[in-house]
Structure 1
Amino acid sequence: MDDNKVIIGGSLVESLKGNYQLSLRQIFEQAFNITKSNLTPLIGGFLVLLATAFLMVQALMNVFSVEEIMGSIKIQYISNILGSVLIAPLLGGLILMGIKHSVGIKTKVGDVFNGFNVMMPLIAVALVSTTLKLVAGQLLGLIHPNFMIIAQLYVTAILVLAMPLVIERGVGPLNALYYSIKIIHFKLPKFILLFLVMFGLLLLAFIPLGLGLIWVLPMICNLIGVVYREVIGVTVIEKPKKDSSSENISA
């Protein structure tokens, strides 16, 4: 590592051994406080992502009718995979913004496009993650419909650190997926609880005409950033003292 690079928070080497702590209460408190002072850029970033998703849906509707989409599992699977691939770079950019916020670095709306710097690795992670969720959900759904939700929750939880590892640490897609699975399984119950709380917050956010999403979606990005900082650690470049600007993440 260069002399001017330092790690803030956890350690990838130690986390791969299960040597990390995770306090859900502290994580949510920090994410809440961070969101209060970093709300605007993430809202702008999500608007870019939603606009992209809207254009994708419109393009899909021009090819297939609503009846065809609703009546074909194959079309639904293809659209889910295609959607995850198209928004992967933007989602990576949002996650990187949350990671930056976790170490006190300010961002701007344009930072949502930083994911395009590692577009192909992010797409690979999104493709594998979405496929695993669809396959696991379909197979366990044959046993009971509720098992589909459980399977998708489980896959989402164990792969949550994959994209951050790609976008912040530059880890390859397969290694990022493997590291995420290995690290999270050391404290799987806590991560499952984390995702259940996040899912509950999303449900509550929809109640007031979806207005709560203006706060909850940015908070979830910052929450992932805080978890990543605590478990993996964030690489920052120390600026010379004469430079008054903030530290920058090496991504």
Structure 2
Amino acid sequence: MKIECPHCGVRGTLDDAYAGRKIRCPKCKTLFQVGGQQEVTPPIGEQDSVPPPMPPDPETVQEVTEQTAAEAESTTPAAEKPEAVEEAAPPEPDTTQVKQDEVPPMPPPKARPHATREQTYGSDVRFTVGGLISRAWELTNGVKGPLLGGLAVMYGVSMVIVGVITFLIMALNIDENGILANLLNIVNSALSMIFTAGLMYMGVLRATGRQVIWKDVFAGFPISGQIIVASLLQMILVMIGFALLILPGIYLMVGYLMTFPLMLDRSMTPWQAMEASRKAIHKVWWKIFGLYLIVMLILCISAIPFGIGLIWTAPMSIVLCGVVYTMLFKEN
């Protein structure tokens, strides 16, 4: 059947099953009865005698409309489904309140500044000589094999070069002070410095909790040129120091002990590493000097019974280098 809103005049079609029921106009929201004598309830805004109630909730109106349509569908055959009554578009949600209630995002945390070299290297260091030796002895467990392997490679290469020089002198009657012999000696010294840097770096790896393998003894070869430059600079400055009443030379020898580890672990240039090492050791120079005197004494004593004791003390001295490095430069 056809219906018409008695208030606003909107028209539509509805199934006969709705006869006698009250429906709400989708346009003006007037409630009226379908068929027979139509009882009209004007919109809330137009009632004068009754105080205006709270405006209907759009979601409640939508639920009532959907419930009425569902009841009609359940009682009406599929062929007699009424045409859809014109419905007003649902109001757009008001996002003003949502925007007002939104919590402003927290500002991103500020990045923690990295420690500068001056802050790291100039910090006060407290330690005992016995504590460092004890720590190095503990860390030697588990890495004696790789460290002894690195030492074997270093001394094996050196012995080969010395054997070549001896063969040339004896078999080919080459002057031991000749150019070729001196050149081989220079090569042997350079390789020894590079291998020494690799061994010290192995001690740093162990003291900082990283894996150590015997091949780490070759870690200095990628920067072999810089290691040779650093060795030459140290030799020149130490010789000048010895020429100046000996004590400055001893001071520089001890002060430059951490040069190679800094070059390998922190990618410093030779001069940067030398200065960083000297500044870090300066405040604790006497303790470091006494520490290495004790270590040299331990190595000499352990070498007395056919060098058997060096199996333990030589790896410990390498790890000790890493322990001193971590203590001076605040590594974890």
Q: Verify same fold: TM over 0.5.
A: yes
Which segments of 5 or more consecutive residues in structure 2 lack a partner in the other structure? 1-113
Q: Does 1:102 align with 2:207?
A: yes
Q: Give the whole-Å Cα distance in 1 for the aligned partners of 2:290 and 2:120.
A: 19
Matching residue of 1:209: 306
Among 58, 62, 84, the alignment partner of 2:163 is 58
1:114-149 superposed Cα distances (whole Å, 9 cap, x missing partner): 222222222222222344445655x47xx8xxx6xx
Q: If each structure's helix is expressed as a fraction of its own residues, which one has the higher value? A: 1
Q: Give the whole-Å Cα distance in 1 for the aligned partners of 2:309 and 2:119.
A: 37
Seen in structure 2, the aligned counterparts of structure 1 residues 128 and 83 have a Cα distance that, compared at 3 Å, is farther
1:81-117 superposed Cα distances (whole Å, 9 cap, x missing partner): 6543222222222111111111222211112112222
Matching residue of 2:288: 191
Matching residue of 1:16: 121
Among 162, 168, 172, the alignment partner of 2:259 is 162
Seen in structure 2, the aligned counterparts of structure 1 residues 195 and 41 have a Cα distance that, compared at 3 Å, is same
Q: Does 1:174 align with 2:271?
A: yes
Q: Does 1:26 align with 2:26?
A: no
SS in 1 for 2:302: helix
Q: TM-score, normalised by structure 2?
A: 0.56
Q: Which amino acid aligns with 2:163?
A: Q
SS in 2 for 1:61: helix
Higher relative contact order (CA 8 A, sep 6+): 1
Matching residue of 2:144: 39
Matched-pair contact (CA < 8 Å) for 1:85–1:127: no
Give the deviation of 1:58 after TM superposition: 2.5
Matched-pair contact (CA < 8 Å) for 1:115–1:167: yes
Matched-pair contact (CA < 8 Å) for 2:207–2:322: yes
Give the deviation of 1:27 after TM superposition: 1.1
Matches within 5 A, 1:113-132: 113-132=218-237
SS in 2 for 1:37: coil
Matched-pair contact (CA < 8 Å) for 1:168–1:234: no
C-alpha RMSD over aligned residues: 3.3
Seen in structure 2, the aligned counterparts of structure 1 residues 77 and 175 have a Cα distance that, compared at 3 Å, is farther
Larger radius of gyration: 2
> Which deviates further from its counterpart, 43-52 or 153-162?
153-162
Q: TM-score, normalised by structure 1?
A: 0.72
Give the number of aligned pairs. 214
The share of aligned pairs that are identical, in percent, is: 25
> Which deviates further from its counterpart, 16-25 or 88-97?
16-25
Q: Which amino acid aligns with 2:232?
A: L
Q: Give the whole-Å Cα distance in 1 for the aligned partners of 2:222 and 2:162.
A: 25
Q: Give the whole-Å Cα distance in 2 for the aligned partners of 1:11 and 1:42.
A: 32
Matched-pair contact (CA < 8 Å) for 1:80–1:130: no
Matching residue of 1:221: 318
Seen in structure 2, the aligned counterparts of structure 1 residues 118 and 194 have a Cα distance that, compared at 3 Å, is same
Q: Give the whole-Å Cα distance in 2 for the aligned partners of 1:99 and 1:207.
A: 28
Q: Give the whole-Å Cα distance in 2 for the aligned partners of 1:103 and 1:60.
A: 40
Q: Give the whole-Å Cα distance in 2 for the aligned partners of 1:49 and 1:43.
A: 10
Which segments of 5 or more consecutive residues in structure 1 lack a partner in the other structure? 1-6, 236-251
